[in-house]
Chains A and B, each alone.
Chain A
Amino acid sequence: MKPIALDAARTTACPPSRWRPPRLSRRFVPVWRRNFLVWRKLALPSVLGNLADPVIYLFGLGLGLGMLVPEVAGVPYISFLAAGMVCFSTMNAASFEALYSGFSRMHVQKTWDAILNAPLELDDIVFAELVWAASKALLSGAAILLVVVLFGFAEARYALWVLPLIFLVGLCFAALGLVMTALAPSYDFFMYYFTLFITPMTLLAGVFFPLEQLPPALRLLTELLPLTHAVQLARPLLLGELPAQVSLHLAVLAAYAIGAFWLALAVLRRRLLK
């Protein structure tokens, strides 16, 4: 006869920690392709829609405000603004995709539930959402990048280097957005994220004016914001210069991306694999 205690130990399962590291594999590809197939059906309106906002800002502020402030940090205001708009557009595209579209797939359409019945894990799905939102952000960022280069608001010399940066910024804000999606009871919840985080950050991260204009206390805060680091890399590149402290800025963006992705996954494991 087996000892009872041993038997109990054998049959009592120990649920795995939801903080276990993400298990990533190429299995995310079919999920990414699913989203791509949906997007392809609406590609043109989607790209134009994503372009409209930053282009309006760029020309409205760049030309309008540019008349009043002819030069900022030694360049025409619209050239100063160009890098900010590329980052702003990337951030918005990644955020909207990870929040609204991601939430639709997870909660409303139950697309994730369907996928979970196939031989994929939640880790694969969330990773696919992350990469997908960053891919869409890459497209949006690249579109506005093309606009600013074509109109001569930016130097073309290092402009291609901005593309991998855009993708990283996309990963960063997709991951942050997925944390919100993981926590959201409904779409209304995302309004808080935009009004309390995205909008203030846009105003404080050096998108519209140089950070030097801010009081020192606020400067400290801006150093913590991911968008600040994105702008500090993109702006010199688009002015044809090499940025300073490249590894620091990249490290901050990467840390946000990895940390937020891990957090989102842990919250989603609790939410969906109850």
Chain B
Amino acid sequence: MPLSIRGLVKRYGETEVVAGIDLHLRPGECFTLLGPNGAGKTTTLRCALGLSAPDAGEIELAGLPVPGRAREARARVGVVPQQDNLDPDFSCAENLLVYGRYFGLQDAEIAARIPELLAFAGLEGRQGAKIGTLSGGMKRRLTLARALVNRPQLLVLDEPTTGLDPQARHLIWERLKQLIRGGTTVLLTTHFMDEAERLADRLAILDAGRILTQGSPREVIAAQIEPQVVEVFGEFDGNGGAPAWAARHAAALALRHEVSGETAFCYLTDPAPLLAHLATQPALRYLHRPANLEDVFLKLTGRELRD
């Protein structure tokens, strides 16, 4: 098993940042931890890597007990941290060389692998480039290549595409899919739904240190939320906006509804009666779509801002 976590608890002072988490990764899958800021994603990863001592629970990483044998376990794992920490004094190739040495690899062995790693990162011909001259996307890709220097069986990524533009994100996703196809197990954290839906074989939604639900994206959507969503907004008969409309009609037409700002979100199985009703309200506008992971996420973790 690449990673197995049972009953993980981590407290900082009185706060339980991780409040009893169970996770079992299967070899070759992409598992995603999805959660708002402060949900405990990064702390869970730190505990899994043996960088933070848990207050309770059992962890096994790459078949070895953590924290007891975390150091040896990390030899089989690659990590892409949330914050880039490439060596600014070094070129791309030097970054890979120096990092490979930390794994006890011989210089010749690493040097032979550098062209392949740079090609994977889309940085061919840039072996001599200083880190300061790279774009944000290039740095992330080089960090990803660096995490692969030891040919890890498990790759751990903490919010790998936060702060990247769409082109750069797509390229990272493309590379991760390539790795998953090649048999690498991937564990990633994110707060982007599209990232989770695109990449995850299975995912867990985390909030306040607990797993609220887990399964494949489809399973989670099917289990947690009504299949259809109608978002209603605009004017309602000169009586105010969608919130006023929802107060009067939504309960009768939808299984469940929520009002957020000027929009009413209606969740239902059969949208026909609601759509028929909306056809009689020309000032109201609406968007009808299938339920997605974001709906589940917002239902489970609420709509309040997390800072």
Contacts and interface: CB of A to CB of B under 8 A. Distances in A.
Contact of A274 (B6, B12, B77, B83): B12
B85 A274 contact: no
Interface string B167-195: 00000000000000000000000000000
A109 B81 contact: no
A interface bracket (residues with beta carbon within 8 Å of B): 20 to 34
B102 A13 contact: no
B85 A15 contact: no
A11 interface: yes
Interface residues of B, number: 36
Interface in A10-60: 11-13, 15-16, 27, 30-31, 33-34, 37-38, 41
B236 interface: no
B57 A11 contact: yes
B75 interface: yes
A120 B104 CA distance: 10
Contacts of A41: 89
B235 interface: no
A117 B99 CA distance: 10
A119 interface: yes
B39 interface: no
Contacts of B103: 118-119
B56 A13 contact: yes
A13 B89 contact: no
Contacts of B49: 117
Interface string A114-136: 11111111000000000000000
A34 B79 contact: no
Interface string B92-115: 001000110111100000000000
A118 B102 contact: yes
A71 interface: no
Contacts of A38: 87, 89-90
B59 to A, nearest CB: 9
A119 B75 CA distance: 5
Interface string B55-94: 1111000000001000110110101010101111110001
Given A41-B89, A109-B88, A121 B55 contact: no
Contacts of A117: 49, 51, 74, 77, 79, 81, 147
A203 B12 CA distance: 44
B101 A110 contact: no
Contacts of B104: 27, 30, 119
B7 interface: yes
A111 interface: yes
Interface string B267-306: 0000000000000000000000000000000000000000
B53 A13 contact: yes
Contact of B57 (A13, A16, A27): A13
B71 A37 contact: no
A273 interface: yes
A113 interface: yes
5 contacts: A11-B56, A12-B56, A110-B83, A119-B75, A119-B103
Smallest CB-CB A-B distances: 4 pairs? A118-B102, A15-B53, A110-B85, A30-B101
